[in-house]
Amino acid sequence: MRSGRDPCAFSRMDLFTRKKVQPTEPILIPHGELTFLTKQEILMAHKIFSELQDRENGPYSSRVSMEKIHTLPELKSNPFRKRICHVFSTSDMKDGSLSFEDFLDLLSAFSDSATLEIKSHYAFRIFDFDDDGTLDARDLEKLVNSLTGETDDTRLTGEEMRQLISNILEESDIDKDGTVNLSEFQHVISRSPDFVSSFKIVL
């Protein structure tokens, strides 16, 4: 029974953001309908994003480079930060830079109220290191390495790694093609009690 935003709310939103953020702000699109974020969160995201923007070359570049994004404390120590940027970036140069819309996409997928469906979809793409649409053994190995850290004393040995990956494939790979595809991944993830509560980033 929900309908679109009425024009009145539209203009009020613009007025609001104009007053609050910058007088010459371009019209903010109705992100409320498109994301899982509340108005406060969007405004907060905008503030953070424009701060990142300002530190780069002037306020007119619409994108923020991956390095800048990684200075956010929420992403600083995340082992998947590069993957996250790559997945959400719409840049043609494949450099992982984010526009504001991409940034909102990111926050929306990681927000509290996003559905399991969305979250597992993006999780799959983040874990798919070579972007080929399936998680094969090499992806899984990279994933394990990201999770155990880069230092030698926490890394698994080759034997352990082989064992682990074969166990994982044994559990999740239903069609036995040696890779985990999206539906298999979602099948596994949807039964996990912890996934939704831990796949979150808050500003």
Partner 1 sequence: MCLIVLFSNVLTTFSPYFQWIQKEEQKAGINRSLQLEEGKPSQQIASSSSDDNSEDESMSEGEMARLKEDVEEKKKLIATLRNKPWRMKRRLKCLKEAQAFVEKFEGALGKGKGRRLYAFKVMMTKKIIKFNRDFENFKTACIPWESRIKEVESHFGSSVASYFIFLRWMYGLNLVLFGFVFGLVVIPEVLMGMPYGSIARKTVPREEQDSAMDFSVLFEFGGYCKYSIMFYGYYNYQRSIGLLQFRLPLSYLLVGLGIFGYSLMVVIRTMARNANEGGDGAEDGAFTFCWKLFTSWDFLIGNPETADNKFASTTTSFKESIVDEQENLKDENIHLQRFLRVLANLLILCCLGGSGYLIYYVVKRSQEFAKKDRNELSWLQKNEVEIVMSLLGLVCPPLFEVIAELENYHPRIALKWQLGRIFALFLGNLYTFLFALFDEVNAKLENEKEIKNETIWALKEYYTNYTLYHNVTENIPPPNISPADVIRGPCWETEVGIEFVKLTVSDIQVTYLTILIGDFLRAVIVRFLNYCWCWDLEAGFPSYGEFDISGNVLGLIFNQGMIWMGAFYAPGLVGVNVLRLLSSMYYQCWAVMACNVPHERVFKASRSNNFYMGLLLLVLFLSLMPVVYSIMTLPPSFDCGPFSGQDQMYDVIMETIEKDLPPFMADIFSYASNPGLIMPAVLLMVLAIYYLNAVSKAYQNANMDLKRKMQMQRDEEKNRRNNKDSTNQVMKDLEDLLPNKSLIPPPSAEETEKPADQLSKSPKVTGKPGAAATGKGVHVQKDVSLAAANPRAPVTRPPGPRPPGPLPGNARGPPPGQGMGRGRGGPPPRR
| Site residues (CB under 8 A) for partner 1, limited to 54-93 | 73-80, 90
For partner 1, which is the closer residue by CB, 66 or 143?
A: 143
| SS3 at position 135 | strand
Give the whole-angstrom CA distance, residue 68 versus residue 27: 24
Alpha-carbon distance 29 to 194, whole Å?
33
CB of 86 vs partner 1, minimal distance in Å: 14
Nearer to partner 1, 58 or 158 (CB): 158
94 contacts partner 1 (rule: CB under 8 A): no
Q: Which is nearer to partner 1, 64 or 143 (CB)?
A: 143
Residue 64 pairs with which residues in a beta bridge? 98
Could you give the string, one character per residue 100-139, with x where binding to partner 1 holds by CB under 8 A and - elsewhere?
-xx-xx--xxx----x-xx--xxx---x------------
Among 21, 25, 30, 137, binds partner 1 (CB under 8 A): 30
Alpha carbons within 13 A on the beta-carbon side of 84: 25
Give, as ranges, the residues between 140 and 159 that touch partner 1 (CB under 8 A).
Answer: 140, 143-144, 147-149, 151, 154-156
What is d(CA 74, CA 133) in angstroms, rounded to the nearest whole number? 27
Binding-residue total with partner 1 (CB under 8 A)? 79
Report the chain's terminal Cα–Cα distance, integer Å. Answer: 31
Query: Which amino acid appears at position 104 of this protein?
Result: L
